[in-house]
Structure 1
C-alpha cells in the first residue's frame, strides 16, 4: 500500500512586545516569530508589520525596511520545523494620554503555503501617563575587611530608575556603633551620629554617587562586624524611603 504524503509549508506568526505598559517616549521591542510547522521549506516569505499606532520607527532586524507606515521583511526561506525571529523597535509618541492602547498585528505569506495570507496574534501595549520617581540605593565598602585603626570608605549610589525626576532627595546614614566619622563627599554633613546629604534633583535614569569615610578605632576587637545602612527619600517617590 502506498500512502500519499501531503507536502506543504505551514506558516505561523507569533507576536510579542516588551514592555506591555509604557509612558510617552518609552521604547517598545516587538518580537515576531516566523514559524514553519509544515514538512517542507516555505520558499520566499513576505512579512509585514504595520507600524503600531502612536509610535515612531527606530530599527528592525533581519533586513526589515520601513515603507510608509509598514515595516516589511522579505525572507528567502524558513526550513521545515524552524523558526526565525524578527525584531522591531519603536518609540511611543510624546504626549500620549493615560489609557491609550497601542495595537500591533503582523501578516505574512509563504510561497509554499497554499492557505495564503496569515495573521499573527494581536498585541496590545497600554499607556500609563503617570510619571513618578523610583529611588534605588546601592552601597558598597571599598574592602570587605578592615584592620582596627584604619579607615573604611563606602560608596553610596542613589539611582532614580523611575520615569520622572526625584527632587529634594535626602540621603541619611546613621553611623554604626564603634565607628568614627571622618569625611563625606558632595556636601555631606555629620550631626547627632548621622551623616546627611541633600541632593536637589536626580533626573529620571540618573544617579548620584556619594562617598563616606569612617574610622575604625584601634581598640576594636577582631571579628567585629560593622553594619551600615544608607536611606534615600524623596516626595516624588510614592514608595517612600529606600535603604541598603
Structure 2
C-alpha cells in the first residue's frame, strides 16, 4: 500500500516546491529504495521522502479433516451393525476458524438414522445420501478453532442387512466451507473444499 504527498502550501496558502522530492499523484514515478527512509534526496535519484509504502502479508487459512473409527469401534463388523465414526477437524493454518461445515457421504451399503443415540444430539442434517453439520462457536467450540487446535464430532451409520461377506465399505467425509472468527468466508491454503 503506497501513500504520497500530492501538494502543499506554506502558512500563507502559497503553493510550494518540495526541496528533495516531486509531490504528485503518480505512484510509480518515485524512487523508493527503503521503507520509512526519509533522508534521501529524490532529485539525486535517492529515496524520495514524499512517498512511502507499508507491506502486509496475508496469513494462511488451512483446515484438515481426519475420519477415524471411534475408540473401541472394531473394523470387522456384521450386517446391521451401527458403526461409530469420529470426524476430527484440525486448524493447520494461522487464522482462527469458525462455522466449519463438514459433510459425510453415506455409502450405499449404509444408512443414516437420525434417532440413533449420538446422531440425534449431534446436529447432523440428512438429505439425499449426504449428512452435514456446522461446527461453530456456542456449539462444539467455546471459541473459534485456533491455529494448532482440533475439534471432534461423532457420527453413527448403520450397515445394510443383508450384505455379502467380505464387503468393504468406505465412508468419506470432507470440509465444505468455513469462515474466520469474524464470519468472513475463507479459502483453504492447500485444498479445495467442495461437495
Which bin holds the TM-score, normalised by the shorter protein? 0.5 to 0.7
What's the secondary structure of 1:205's corresponding residue? coil
TM-score, structure 1 normalization: 0.43
> Does the 8 Å CA contact 1:132/1:164 hold for their aligned counterparts?
yes
Say which SS state the counterpart of residue 113 (structure 2) adopts.
strand
Q: Which residue of 1 aligns with 2:189?
A: 238
In the aligned structure 1, how far is the partner of 2:191 from the partner of 2:90? 14
Number of residues of Structure 1 aligned to a counterpart in Structure 2: 118
Q: After TM superposition, where is structure 1 displaced by more than 6 Å over at least 4 residues in a row?
A: none
Unaligned runs of 5+ in 2: 1-55, 137-143, 179-184
Matched, 1:176 2:107: yes
Question: What TM-score do the two structures reach when normalised by structure 2?
Answer: 0.53
Q: More strand by proportion, 1 or 2? A: 1
5 Å-filtered alignment, 1:161-200, equals 161-183=92-114, 184=119, 186-200=122-136
Q: Is the 8 A contact 1:170 1:199 kept in 2?
A: yes
Q: Which residue of 2 aligns with 1:155?
A: 86
CA distance in 2, matches of 1:242, 1:223: 32
Contact (CA 8 Å) 1:174, 1:230: kept in 2 or not? yes
Over the aligned positions, Cα root-mean-square deviation in angstroms equals 2.5
1:213 matched to 2:156? The reply is: yes
Paired position in structure 2 for 1:131? 59
**1:242 deviation in Å?**
5.4
Cα shift at 1:129? 4.1
Of structures 1 and 2, the one with the larger relative CO (CA 8 A, separation 6+) is: 2
Question: Aligned equivalents of 1:136 and 1:165: distance in 2?
Answer: 13
